[in-house]
Chain A
Amino acid sequence: MSGTNRPRRGWGARLVILIPALWLAVFFAVPFLIVLKISLSQSAIAQPPYTPVLDLAAGWQGLKDWAAGLSLESYALLASDSLYVSSYLRSLQIAALSTAILLLIGYPIAYGIARAPRRMQAVLVMAIVLPFLTAFLIRIYALVTILQREGLLNDALLALSLVREPLVWLSTDTAIVIGIVYSYLPFMVLPLYASLEKMDDTLLEAAADLGCPWWKAFWLVTVPLSAPGIVAGALLCFIPIVGEFVIPDLLGGSDALMIGQTLWTEFFSNKDWPAASALAVALLAILLVPIMIYQHIQMRALEHR
């Protein structure tokens, strides 16, 4: 009524909120609760794929049975086996290193695009996005061809006499990092470009006018102003890289796994669903804070228009 400040919401407006909200709740939020639940079951009870996952039909008694059946066994396994701990650490390490390299490579590219003539910018952005749209798996596969022992990279290095022996690229961490940087570059460049493109040229002119050399102006004006883009780009890369599966699987070695591979193996090879779920919960726990920061940035971009 006219006594309140709230905009009145008709049925149509409520439906607009409800449809996507329900979809995401059912297909994104609820599944996490199931993962959490299964991670607390014992592998003996939860034999795939016919686990009695949620026995809600049994009502209160079912709930009690379920609570009694909760077990921290899977988490104990995670903590005790150094394989899991080391694969967590490895994933974080590789993700951090890759994100740093992505930032170092992505920033000059984004800066170059933002400084290009207006008409060129759209084309260049498109050129950056286009490979991202053309089949991620295929691009990793393309790298396999290039990085293998008799591959083109070694051919080129030998032809240029930079090395005498063909180097081992494939199945190394270097290959993983190359693959990650290659696949995630657009994710880094786009947020950086978005924040650099908004920047007023006259700011740099003002800095120059006030006696600031260009490299100093870059460091004192451009970089701080693009900080939101740096954080957004870094998070947009770092978070999914930690759980990356395809790249380490195709390019990395089999001796040391990243956490995404471990999860995959637990699930598909060992068929240990509770262990895989516990891995997912632990991975999510590590990534929760970065994800919340990312969401906060997105929300702020929404409010500041």
Chain B
Amino acid sequence: MNGSSDKTRPLLRFEGVVKRFGDVPAVDRVSLDIHEGEFFALLGPSGCGKTTLLRMLAGFEQLTEGHILLDGQDIGDVPPHRRPVNMMFQSYALFPHLTVAGNVAFGLKQEALPKSEIESRVSAMLALVRLEGYGGRKPQQLSGGQRQRVALARALVKRPRVLLLDEPLSALDRKLREETRFELVELQQRLGLTFIIVTHDQHEAMIMADRIGVMNRGQLVQVGPPSEVYEQPNSRWVAGFIGDINLIEGRVAATGPQGTEIKSETAGRLHAAQPADVSLGTSVWLAVRPEKVSIAAHAPEGSQTNVFAGKVADIGYLGNSSLYKVKLDNGLVMTAVVANRTRLLERPIGRYDRVWLSFPSDAGVVLTR
């Protein structure tokens, strides 16, 4: 517990962690620090290695290479039952032959705590997850949301140094899932614990986590706070995985403190406020989020940088917003998302209308890969 005040040393450190199944690398050279009290999300598509990484931390998978340090101690050879981390399983893995209270007490009984302490901690924990009075039921008699809370209580009651959550909300329906996200964050802040969640849902990761580690094909491709990962993706893959993105290919014509000038064969001259750390002539992509693209029925006045004319090819009505797919005169298809602030009675833009797309210089990110 001394480590909590030590801000320089991370609570958890992954050092060049590799896991191979046969010849296939499931986790490929992952290095990562996680600090005390953090809510960290491992985000990636299925099969990217995020669950394997979590299972190595819990002790269910052996590392092929590298080290995992908890409070500075290498835990590679510590068996799962001696690790001070606890896991909430995707399937919840509630013991069907035990009651709710029996499930929550299971971990404490392994520590051979006095009976009275087990009882008081179990009932306090059941109160915390709002399941008072359910202690005598069997897991099969609970709803999905209640089971999820039993699984959470069962792991939390052990007071783990790190709580691991493997897709904890995937079995819940949408509405319950959205409520539970906030509950989990609130609980984590109240208890001051370190949470690591594995998810394939970028909304879930962005809403809940302090930091996100994006994984693809076994590698950790970007780590940062949600806003950074969204606004400053470091690759086309990350940009596309977290939300929708317009990508315009071009070559760097000029770059400096005033921003980057890009010449695109398809879209003409582009400008991004951010300087690019590349030599002139390098092939790059300008990435722009659809909601940062404005759409207008008339050509905008003034500067014609980052302005493109085209025809509306398709409109998707999403309720709170509308999505316009515009085929530009140069052949490129771009997407713009506009919030529906007024009702749709007099929609000014329709299908096949001629429109002009534009975005400010600070909306785009220059990507080199």
Complex: A in contact with B (CB within 8 Å)? yes
Binding site for B on A (CB under 8 A): 2-5, 7-8
Report the separation of the CA atoms of residues A152 and B63 in the bound assembly, to the nearest whole angstrom: 71
Contacts of B20 in A (CB 8 A): 5
Of B20, B62, B76, most A-chain CB atoms within 10 Å: B62
Contacts of A4 in B (CB 8 A): 62, 64
Interface residue? B65 (CB, 8 A):
yes
Q: A5 contacts which of B62, B66, B77 (Cβ < 8 Å)?
A: B62
In the complex, the answer to whether A2 meets B22 with C-beta atoms within 8 Å is: no
Query: Across the A-B interface, how many residue pairs have beta carbons closer than 8 Å?
Result: 18
Apart from A5-B20, A8-B62, what are 12 other A-B pairs with CB-CB below 8 Å?
Answer: A2-B62, A2-B63, A2-B64, A2-B66, A2-B77, A3-B64, A4-B62, A4-B64, A5-B22, A5-B62, A5-B64, A7-B62
Report the separation of the CA atoms of residues A106 and B66 in the bound assembly, to the nearest whole angstrom: 57
Interface residues of chain B: helix, strand, loop or mixed (majority): loop
Of A2, A3, A5, A7, most B-chain CB atoms within 10 Å: A2
Report the separation of the CA atoms of residues A4 and B64 in the bound assembly, to the nearest whole angstrom: 6
Report the separation of the CA atoms of residues A5 and B20 in the bound assembly, to the nearest whole angstrom: 7
B57-81 contacts to A (CB < 8 Å): 62-66, 76-77
Contacts of B64 in A (CB 8 A): 2-5
Report the separation of the CA atoms of residues A7 and B22 in the bound assembly, to the nearest whole angstrom: 12
Report the separation of the CA atoms of residues A2 and B20 in the bound assembly, to the nearest whole angstrom: 11
In the complex, the answer to whether B21 meets A2 with C-beta atoms within 8 Å is: no
What 0/1 readout, one digit per residue, does chain B (36-62) give for beta carbons within 8 Å of chain A? 000000000000000000000000001
Contacts of A7 in B (CB 8 A): 62
Contacts of B22 in A (CB 8 A): 5
Measured CB to CB, the nearest residue on chain B to A1 is B77
* Contact-residue bracket for chain B: 10 to 19
Report the separation of the CA atoms of residues A8 and B62 in the bound assembly, to the nearest whole angstrom: 9
In the complex, the answer to whether B21 meets A5 with C-beta atoms within 8 Å is: yes
Binding site for A on B (CB under 8 A): 20-22, 62-66, 76-77
Report the separation of the CA atoms of residues A4 and B18 in the bound assembly, to the nearest whole angstrom: 11
In the complex, the answer to whether B21 meets A3 with C-beta atoms within 8 Å is: no
Report the separation of the CA atoms of residues A4 and B62 in the bound assembly, to the nearest whole angstrom: 8
Contacts of A2 in B (CB 8 A): 62-66, 76-77
Smallest beta-carbon distance B29→chain A, Å: 14
Measured CB to CB, the nearest residue on chain B to A7 is B62
Report the separation of the CA atoms of residues A3 and B22 in the bound assembly, to the nearest whole angstrom: 13
Of A3, A4, A5, A8, most B-chain CB atoms within 10 Å: A5
Contacts of B63 in A (CB 8 A): 2
Report the separation of the CA atoms of residues A7 and B65 in the bound assembly, to the nearest whole angstrom: 14
17 of the cross-chain contacts (CB-CB < 8 Å) are A2-B62, A2-B63, A2-B64, A2-B65, A2-B66, A2-B76, A2-B77, A3-B64, A4-B62, A4-B64, A5-B20, A5-B21, A5-B22, A5-B62, A5-B64, A7-B62, A8-B62
Report the separation of the CA atoms of residues A38 and B326 in the bound assembly, to the nearest whole angstrom: 88
Measured CB to CB, the nearest residue on chain B to A8 is B62
Report the separation of the CA atoms of residues A45 and B64 in the bound assembly, to the nearest whole angstrom: 60
Smallest beta-carbon distance A49→chain B, Å: 52
Smallest beta-carbon distance B226→chain A, Å: 33
Smallest beta-carbon distance A33→chain B, Å: 36
Smallest beta-carbon distance A266→chain B, Å: 52
Measured CB to CB, the nearest residue on chain A to B63 is A2
Smallest beta-carbon distance A83→chain B, Å: 55
Measured CB to CB, the nearest residue on chain B to A10 is B79
Report the separation of the CA atoms of residues A162 and B20 in the bound assembly, to the nearest whole angstrom: 73
Smallest beta-carbon distance A13→chain B, Å: 12
Report the separation of the CA atoms of residues A100 and B193 in the bound assembly, to the nearest whole angstrom: 67
Smallest beta-carbon distance A173→chain B, Å: 52
Smallest beta-carbon distance B242→chain A, Å: 33
Contacts of B66 in A (CB 8 A): 2
Contacts of A5 in B (CB 8 A): 20-22, 62, 64
Report the separation of the CA atoms of residues A164 and B62 in the bound assembly, to the nearest whole angstrom: 79
Smallest beta-carbon distance B53→chain A, Å: 15
Measured CB to CB, the nearest residue on chain A to B77 is A2
Smallest beta-carbon distance A42→chain B, Å: 53
Smallest beta-carbon distance A11→chain B, Å: 14
Report the separation of the CA atoms of residues A7 and B55 in the bound assembly, to the nearest whole angstrom: 14
Measured CB to CB, the nearest residue on chain A to B22 is A5
Report the separation of the CA atoms of residues A187 and B300 in the bound assembly, to the nearest whole angstrom: 82
Measured CB to CB, the nearest residue on chain A to B18 is A2
Smallest beta-carbon distance B167→chain A, Å: 21
Contacts of B62 in A (CB 8 A): 2, 4-5, 7-8
Q: Which 6 A-B pairs have the closest CB atoms?
A: A2-B63, A2-B76, A5-B64, A5-B20, A2-B62, A7-B62
Report the separation of the CA atoms of residues A3 and B65 in the bound assembly, to the nearest whole angstrom: 6
